[in-house]
Amino acid sequence: MILNKYLLAGLAVCLFAAQAVAGEVTISEAWARATAPGQDSAAVSLHITSQKEASIVAVSSAAAASVEIHSMAHENGMMMMRAMDAFELKAKQEVVLGDGGNHIMLVGLKKPLKLGDSVPLSITLQFADKHKEKIEVKAEVRSLTESHDAHMHHHD
């Protein structure tokens, strides 16, 4: 009976760690791939849903010198990555950053990302009425061989 209580408490902690909810916004499945020696940047993938129209206007992390929101697009036969000032979220539509080319990029990592670590992220959203909300989330660091998506930052 006591074991079940601890097991349930442990599961509750795991569920809370895997999802961040702040008011109208839910963020889940945040993760980054472990980095190779000398690698100073890493992409973060996550799922985000806002109940109201909003924009991600800033992202920061103690793990990196800066954090950028990136888009990827084909231009002149090449994939081009560009930093974005904001990323729009439509009301009640889940967006997967890391899917379709849009992602969060940690630039100037302060130390390598190792399997089992977590990366703290602070995501600032601005809503149509101009109020801002900051959401704290931790991205799990997964295996170096884990795939974000086949096209994400793939180097041969």
Q: What is the CA angle 17-153-42, rounded to 5?
A: 45
CATH number of 2-142: 2.60.40.1890
Strand partners, 89: 54
Which of these, 44, 103, 45, lies nearest to 72 by C-alpha position?
Answer: 103
pTM for the model stands at 0.77
Residue-wise pLDDT tens digits, 60-83 = 999 999 999 998 888 888 888 888
Domain extents in the chain:
2-142
CB neighbour class for 72 (10 Å; exposed up to 12, middle 13-18, buried from 19): middle
Tens of pLDDT along 6-50? 434 443 434 444 456 656 899 999 999 999 999 999 999 999 999
- Residues sharing a CB contact under 8 Å with residue 63, sequence separation 6 or more, in sequence order: 106, 109, 110, 111, 113, 119, 120
